[in-house]
């Protein structure tokens, strides 16, 4: 496989700086890094971004996450290894990533479940993380960035 072009964020240096700053900013939201990585992995699976799936699975593994949980992210609803807070974050991730799939993209019940586990600052961090990974996914998929090339 070969990328269609050099990564857009590499071609416009201020874009890369902005994306890195945005990614770093969510650390202030109080959401565990492991949860943020699960969110990144799930959105990347939905969007078919092989580079990000590989990168976030690798980050989870490097952070001590079990292979069992990493492999089950795509089937988190049926897997017993996720906390209620992680499930709420993953459900929110799916809804926000698939905005146009339903007329009520983020139903009140889904939002209320997320709000039960995360305060407003943490919800903000989750939403920024979801938007951020979706942006990276779109750049990578459109330009066919190759999985493993980040290493």
| CATH, residue 71 | 1.20.1290.10
* pLDDT reported for residue 148: 81
Geometric angle at alpha carbon 88, from 87 and 92, rounded to 5°: 115
| All residues at 6 or more sequence positions from 140 whose CB lies less than 8 Å from its CB, including other chains | 7, 49, 51, 52
Domain tally, the chain: 1
Confidence at residue 41, expressed as pLDDT on a 0 to 100 scale:
98
Question: Is residue 57 included in any domain, yes or no?
Answer: yes
The pLDDT > 70 percentage for the chain reads: 99
**Chain segment 35-82, per-residue pLDDT in tens:** 999 999 999 999 999 999 999 999 999 999 999 999 999 999 999 999
State the chain's mean pLDDT as an integer.
96
- For residue 9, being part of any structural domain is answered with no
Residue 86: inside a domain: yes
Q: Is residue 75 part of a domain?
A: yes
How does DSSP classify residue 74? G
Percent of the chain whose pLDDT exceeds 90: 94
| pLDDT at position 151 over 70 | no
93: pLDDT strictly greater than 70: yes
Q: H or E segment at 11?
A: helix 8-11
The segment with the largest mean pLDDT, out of 5-9, 102-106, 127-131, is 127-131
Q: Is 42 helix (H, G, I), strand (E, B) or coil?
A: helix
Count of CB atoms situated within 10 Å of the CB of 75: 8
Terminal-residue alpha carbon distance, the chain: 16
10 in any annotated domain = no
Closest residue by Cα to residue 95 from 86, 84, 106 = 106
Q: Could you tell me the pLDDT band of residue 150, with boundaries at 50, 70 and 90?
A: low
**Domain span at residue 104?**
30-142
Q: Is residue 105 part of a domain?
A: yes
pTM: 0.95
8 CB burial (10 A radius; 0-12, 13-18, 19+) = middle
Residue 107 lies in a domain: yes
User: How much is the pLDDT for 13?
Assistant: 87
pLDDT of residue 133: 98
């Amino acid at each position: 496989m070969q990328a269609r072009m050099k990564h857009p964020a590499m071609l416009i240096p201020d874009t890369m700086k902005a994306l890195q700053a945005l990614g770093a900013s969510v650390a202030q939201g109080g959401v565990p890094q492991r949860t943020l990585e699960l969110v990144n992995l799930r959105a990347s699976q939905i969007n078919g971004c092989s580079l990000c799936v590989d990168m976030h699975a690798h980050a989870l593994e490097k952070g001590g996450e079990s292979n069992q949980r990493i492999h089950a992210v795509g089937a988190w609803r049926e897997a017993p290894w996720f906390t209620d807070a992680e499930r709420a974050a993953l459900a929110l991730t799916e809804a926000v990533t698939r905005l146009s799939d339903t007329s009520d993209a983020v139903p009140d019940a889904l939002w209320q479940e997320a709000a039960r586990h995360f305060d407003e600052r943490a919800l903000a961090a989750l939403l920024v993380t979801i938007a951020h990974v979706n942006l990276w996914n779109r750049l990578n998929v459109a330009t066919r960035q190759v999985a493993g090339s980040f290493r």
